[in-house]
Chains A and B, each alone.
Chain A
Amino acid sequence: MISNPIAVLATRTPLGWRQLRHKPMRLAVALAGVVFANMLIFMQLGVMGALFENAVKPVRVLSADIMLLSPEARQFGKLGTLPRRRLYQALGVEGVTSGASLYVGSVSFRTPISIRQANVTVFGVDPEFDGFVDPEISVQRAKLRVAETALLDRLTRRPFGAIAQVIDEKGAASVEVSGRTISLAGLFSLGASFDADGTAIVSDQTFFRLFPRRSGAAASAIMLKVDPEADIDDVANRLKQALPASDTQVMTTEQYADYIKDYMRDNTAIGFIFTFGVVFGFVIGFAIVYQILSADVNDHLAEYATFKAMGYSHGYLLGVVFEEALLLAALGFVPGVLMSLGLYAVIAKGTELAIDMPLDRAALVLVLTFSMCCLSGLVATRRLKAADPADVF
């Protein structure tokens, strides 16, 4: 009998739903399993995403439109160096309006009185560069023209970070860096990272005083600002043509941000641990849903065999199990998202990691949840073979 499949769906008894509803305890356990798996996955993805976002933050805060990087460049802490003359070459490329080399170093800051200290990442840039994205930095960059002056990240870890309050109140504060006194003349917002308690921005001149062994000819990166009329990708392509790939990578800011995240996910311990956590959540959810669905199939074997004897096809019974699987996914996902949002709030409070819920992550977990449930359903349907219509008599 060939019937319109839509009419079949529309008139079909929602057997999967009825079965789930018939055993409320079992349904509750299954949903708890889905929610739990959801929360596990969301937590891993959330914390991983927040850590990666932190790693990408300097790019977003500083960034010009395009960055020139050493071929060995990884995260922001591991940039390597490239020749500064690539900057001058780049400035000659059509569409590039300005640029600056960026020098990155790490040094210890200490307060003179209470001797609190912090490991600070220092960015050295030309104060005349007009390509900073962060308004606080572009407004205050003129302050850096004065030698031995720095802007400090107000999110620098405490206790040293408490100095931000002093700067806020008095307009400036002094710290000792490599035997010099540096004046902290303003604040901006970035956030602590794994390898440093905070970040400071200084002029390139000041940078070389703090890091006397660093040469101006070897920049950590080069930031370029592009004519707003020009297409960034076109300019990037022209730069790739103009600059030797042997010592220079050309990436748009977004490309570099994505590159950092991908690199960290695939090559660092954090990436491994959290990816493992996601897989673990998936497996746990799969196991719970599978247990529930196969128990349900087992309980209904006689009834299923009866359906087969009545003329229902094997496909119909598969449909019932998948209906249950899809329902569990859909019904579990909603509270899963809500509870994960709660979890994010708790984590944010406890760790100062701001975790948001981007749509693509929610979509990813939705897909994972449905695959998890369908996979459980798929395995559970193997038990259906035991429903032999000849056995019902």
Chain B
Amino acid sequence: MTQLPHANCFGPKPRSTSAICINGLCHWFGKGPTRKQILFSLDLDVLRGEIIFLMGPSGCGKTTVLTLVGGLRSVQAGSVRTLGVEMAEADEQTMIATRRRIGFIYQAHNLHQSLTVLENVRMGLEVHGPEALADWRKRSAAILAGVGLTRWADAYPAQLSGGQKQRVAIARALVARSPLILADEPTATLDKVTGRQTVNLLHDLAKQQHRTVLMVTHDNRILDLADRILEMEDGRIVNETRQCSPRRETTR
């Protein structure tokens, strides 16, 4: 493991190559006497196309980082540039516009129960307006084929296994070709084999299409799929491991 100096994103070059650029990010939860600092002057620079795993003990602030990067929570102090957009003091519209450019994958699949697999995937396109729906069938079918769920396109989420649901969630997150994927423990509810397969799939799709992935995980068995592994502790990044040649595997 090598300790690397934090790349600073201020300057001409990183603006175009950084997918995420965090500087001096602090965050607090609670009010008054129960107010507690969760993030302590965090710095992080993620290049476009990089696959980053964020690890660390429970409660160290990983999810908080993801929500701040994703425009799901307002930045309190410091700077977060997501896909070139400053999230500190961004208004609701800017946050919504940024969310649309991000594919989110959650621990729980959060699929819509009353929509079919295909329709759930379509929701990932519909948010971009009618123009994005022009060839939605083709795009949805392609991404479902990518996650190996072609046969299940017309099934409802209730008919799928946990791994299959998570793959639908991945398809939904990827269908709009979002340049950035934020994932929070996508394998937590999956068994060993399925978990590995799922992240493999995510890895391959991301690499093929040059997407950036920031993924929180506790899963030691998939670490070889990351370009870089960040370790957090008590609201700080304490360690960074760069893997020069992450293993490439295909699921197909």
Residues of A in contact with B (beta carbons under 8 Å apart):
1, 3-4, 7-8, 10-13, 15, 18-19, 21-22, 300, 302-303, 305-313, 389-390, 392-393
Contact = CB atoms under 8 A, between A and B. Distances in A.
Contacts of B72: 309, 389-390, 392-393
Contact of B97 (A1, A7, A300): A1
A302 B108 contact: yes
Interface in B59-107: 63, 66-67, 70, 72-73, 96-97, 99-102, 104, 106-107
A3 B129 CA distance: 6
A310 B112 contact: no
Interface of B: 63, 66-67, 70, 72-73, 96-97, 99-102, 104, 106-108, 110-115, 119, 122-124, 126-131, 133, 172, 184
Given A8-B129, A390-B73, A393-B66, A22 B114 contact: yes
16 contacts: A15-B114, A18-B112, A18-B114, A21-B114, A300-B112, A302-B110, A303-B112, A303-B113, A306-B110, A309-B70, A309-B104, A310-B99, A310-B100, A389-B67, A393-B67, A393-B72
B231 to A, nearest CB: 19
Interface centre among A308, A313, A393, by most chain B C-beta atoms within 10 angstroms, is A393
A392 B172 CA distance: 15
A393 B106 contact: yes
B123 A13 contact: yes
B109 to A, nearest CB: 9
Given A393-B107, A393-B184, A22 B113 contact: yes
B130 A3 contact: yes
Contacts of A390: 67, 72-73
Where chain B touches its partner, the secondary structure class is: mixed
Given A22-B114, A389-B72, A389-B99, 5 more contacts: A11-B130, A390-B72, A392-B106, A392-B110, A393-B184
B127 A10 contact: no
Given A302-B110, A389-B72, A13 B119 contact: yes
A12 B133 CA distance: 10
Given A8-B129, A390-B72, A15 B115 contact: yes
Contacts of A19: 114
B114 A4 contact: no
Contacts of B130: 3-4, 7-8, 10-11
Nearest to B119: A13
Contacts of B73: 390
Contacts of A307: 123, 127
A311 B73 CA distance: 13
Contacts of B67: 389-390, 393
Which 4 interchain pairs have the tightest Cβ spacing? A311-B100, A22-B114, A7-B130, A3-B129
A306 B169 CA distance: 11
Contacts of A300: 112
Contacts of B66: 393
B126 A309 contact: no
Contacts of A22: 113-114
A389 B106 CA distance: 11
B123 to A, nearest CB: 6
B115 A13 contact: yes
A308 B107 CA distance: 16
A389 B70 CA distance: 10
Contacts of B112: 15, 18, 300, 303
